[in-house]
Amino acid sequence: MPQFASIGAGLIGRAWAIVFARSGYPVKLYDLDPAAVDRALGLIDQALADLAGCGLIEQPAAEIRARIQAVASLGEALAGADYVQESASERLDLKQQLYLEMDRLARPEAIFASSTSFIPTSQFSRDVPGRHRCLVAHPVNPPHLIPVVEISPASWTAADVVERTRQIQIQVGQTPVVVRKEIRGFLLNRLQSVLMAEAFRLVDDGYCSIEDLDVCLKDGLGLRWSFMGPYETIDLNAPGGVIDYAARFVNTMLEIDASAESAPRAPSADFFARVNGERRRVLPLAEKDQREAWRDRRLMELLAHKRAMAHKLG
């Protein structure tokens, strides 16, 4: 049975501990800051109770929780670990140092996967003697509710490390995708960046309100996108499939893309102050934690629904 270590017990590291433990595997949880581990354990208990409430875990929460062991040193966390998921703070110098240390302490066969959002494997592992075992396994927050994981190796990452990571992620219930060549932002954040740049522009240039922009996603594109990707979508959006779609729509889309309104530019100076004013009117900062809990409940209900539908409709 593979042994897991989750390094860093913040937002992401604690969620990874849930992912590994709920799949039946023991996981050691470590953070440089002991208070972060204490906080994480409380939040893990809460998340497990919520998952149980939505029927998203098959075993009693206490059984899953018992597989998560908080440890006080990096050496203890790595002892016997086969797969190490690193979710320490997003700083290149910190990660470079941490990987050197992990390489000294862990078994030679152990895989080192980083949750980093933006730092390529070739940067944080460059000087690590065992850099062939390093790669990115980038989750989406929170990974215990959103299954996609972007696996992004460096040119020197061993092919079998990529494949073993893919298999391990499948084993723990995640959905891995492989980024074949290193690129800033991997896949998901590149898609998100393009969409957000357009969302900023459309509101900043006065084409619509913030609320209406959000409606276009949550009551429009997002409905389909929650169970089929854009390529699957376009294949069904023209009677003759994707070739027909290309003939009907792609030139117009390319024209829109090349038009003056689409030229890349930064939002106006007061744009985010204005967005903040409107957002704080509907969601005071004091209620943000509650709203995050609400979001996670909605995600859990959606996941439960997706699972039931996948079973019923394929």
Ligand X SMILES: NC(=O)c1ccc[n+]([C@@H]2O[C@H](COP(=O)([O-])OP(=O)(O)OC[C@H]3O[C@@H](n4cnc5c(N)ncnc54)[C@H](O)[C@@H]3O)[C@@H](O)[C@H]2O)c1
172 part of the interface to ligand X, by CB under 6 A: no
Contacts (CB under 6 A) with ligand X, residues 233-252 = none
* Distance from C-alpha of 309 to C-alpha of 16, rounded to nearest angstrom: 25
150 vs 201 by CB, closer to ligand X: 150
Cα-based angle 81, 84, 86 (whole degrees, multiple of 5): 150
Say whether residue 31 binds ligand X (CB under 6 A).
Answer: yes
Token code pair at residue 292: 């995050």
The reply to whether 115 sits near ligand X by the rule CB under 6 A is yes
CA distance 300 to 99: 34
Smallest gap from Cβ 55 to ligand X, in A, equals: 26
**Is residue 262 at the binding interface for ligand X, with CB under 6 A as the rule?**
no
Q: Which two tokens stand for residue 138?
A: 């980038």
Check if the beta carbon of residue 8 is closer than 8 Å to that of residue 77: no
Q: 113 has which bridge partners?
A: 85, 135
Contact with ligand X (CB under 6 A) among 2, 3, 13, 188: 13
* Residue 9 interacting with ligand X (CB under 6 A): yes
With contacts defined by CB under 6 A, name the span among 84-92, 209-217, 219-227, 242-250 that binds ligand X. Answer: 84-92
Of the listed pieces 1-9, 151-159, 251-259, 299-307, which binds ligand X according to CB under 6 A? 1-9
10 touches ligand X (CB under 6 A): yes
Q: How far apart are CA 149 and CA 109, in angstroms?
A: 22
CB atoms within 10 A of CB 236: 12
Which of 139, 147, 153, 176: binder of ligand X (CB under 6 A)? 139
Cα–Cα distance measured from residue 136 to residue 86, given in angstroms and rounded to the nearest whole number: 9
Question: Given candidates 5, 12, 70, 84, which one binds ligand X under the rule CB under 6 A?
Answer: 12
Q: Does 153 bind ligand X (CB under 6 A)?
A: no
Among 151, 83, 145, CA closest to 295: 145
Q: Let me know how long the chain is.
A: 314
Tokens of 32: 């440089």
When the beta carbons of 92 and 256 are compared against ligand X, the nearer one is 92
Of 122 and 237, nearer to ligand X (C-beta) is 122
Q: Which residue has the closest beta carbon to ligand X?
A: 10
80-104 residues labelled b (16+ CB within 10 A) or e (exposed): ebbbbbbbbeeeeeebbebbbebbe
Residue with tokens 């939505």: 54
CB of 90 to ligand X, least distance (A): 4
Nearer to ligand X, 113 or 201 (CB): 113
Q: Is 120 in the site for ligand X (CB under 6 A)?
A: no
Residues in contact with ligand X, counted by CB under 6 A, come to a total of 24
**Which of 98, 151, 162, 179: binder of ligand X (CB under 6 A)?**
98
Stretch that binds ligand X, among 123-131, 136-144, 232-240, 269-277 (CB under 6 A): 136-144
Min separation Cβ 98 and ligand X, Å: 5
Distance CA 182, CA 114 (A): 14
The residue whose two tokens read 């509101």 is 203
Q: Is residue 150 a contact residue for ligand X (CB under 6 A)?
A: no
Which tokens in the block code for residue 169? Answer: 């992620």
Does position 46 interact with ligand X (CB under 6 A)? The reply is: no
In the chain, % helix, strand, coil (3-state, to 5) comes to 55, 10, 30
Only segment of 10-18, 146-154, 162-170, 304-312 that touches ligand X (CB under 6 A):
10-18
Residues that bind ligand X (CB under 6 A): 7-13, 30-33, 36, 87-90, 94, 98, 115-117, 138-139, 141
